[in-house]
Chain A
Amino acid sequence: MKTVKISARRLDKMTIFDISGDVDLATSPELRKALLSELREARMPRVILNLKAVRYVDSSGVASLVEGLKVSRDLGARLILYGLSTSVREVLQLSRLLKIFEICESEEQAVSP
């Protein structure tokens, strides 16, 4: 039973991941793999996560985001989140990690120079 879908849109010097469903213990490895591959192998300078359709994220999902953030910082890239639902925002607040992420209100803002 797969509860997450991840698709990538590659634009000029940036990738947008459209993610939908639940990011939990079962599905976070898929997000982690996609995120790290785009940063480490594709060397994309900006990776954007569209979280508008993410209904749920747990600590393993947060861990994947934090790992992506650390790798992006190591490589001098940017990891941007946008479209946070109430549920996702609450979990990031609870982890006290909300302020460490670059968060935008819209895709337009996330892709702007």
Chain B
Amino acid sequence: MSQGRLLLKLELCSNAEMLSVVRHALGQLAEIEGFSSAECRAVVLAVDEALTNIIRHAYSGEEGRPIQVSFRRIEAPQDGRQRRGLEIVLEDRGKKVDQATLCGRCLEEVRPGGLGLHFIKECMDTVEFRRKVGKNQLRLVKLLDVAKLGKGA
């Protein structure tokens, strides 16, 4: 995990008002990395939802708790070839994530809530959770289209 070239590292507090700041920074980073407008929106949505989950669930809405987000350019194998992608790792020191609550909800139900994880899974190619030395760690990967390899920084 977390091999590749570090592009950006953010240390922020669990404050909902920081979400827009992260969205703007990430939107620009994803664009520089060569993702399409739709892919940029998908990556931004996934990370925004992951941060929202940390603030709401891991920290139970408590403000001022630490969140670390790192963004790396990686090469990952898919379908027998190497693909370039963006790896995003989010870490918090909040409550242990209950795996049973991470399955998302039935989308046939018309009710508020429970959509965040569904959005993350739909938007990203890889979604991995782990608990490591008192930290929750969420690893997200979005791969570039093969046709776009060579573009970007």
- A residues lining the B interface (CB < 8 Å): 1, 3, 22, 24-26, 56, 58-60, 62-64, 66-67, 69-70, 86-87, 90-91, 94-97, 100
Q: Interface of B with A (CB < 8 Å)?
A: 16-17, 19-21, 23, 38, 41, 44-45, 48-49, 52, 55-56, 107, 110-113, 115-116, 118-119, 122-123
Name A59's closest neighbour in chain B (CB-CB): B115
- List 10 A-B residue pairs with CB atoms under 8 Å apart, sorted by A's residue number: A24-B20, A24-B52, A26-B17, A59-B115, A67-B112, A90-B41, A91-B45, A94-B123, A95-B118, A95-B119
A25-B56, A58-B45 known; A66-B118 Cβ under 8 A: no
CB atoms of A96 and B111 under 8 A apart: no
CB atoms of A24 and B116 under 8 A apart: no
Q: Does B20 lie within 8 Å of A59, measured CB to CB?
A: no
The interface residues of chain B lying within 8 Å CB-to-CB of A97 are: 110
The 5 closest A-B pairs by CB, nearest first: A63-B112, A26-B16, A59-B115, A25-B16, A59-B116
> What does DSSP make chain B's interface, helix, strand, loop or mixed?
helix
Contacts of A25 in B (CB 8 A): 16, 19, 52, 55-56
A70 x B119 contact (CB < 8 A): no
Partner of A60, one of B21, B41, B52, B123: B52
Contact A94 B122 (CB under 8 A): yes
Given contacts A26-B16, A91-B45, A95-B118, A70 and B56 within 8 Å (CB-CB): no
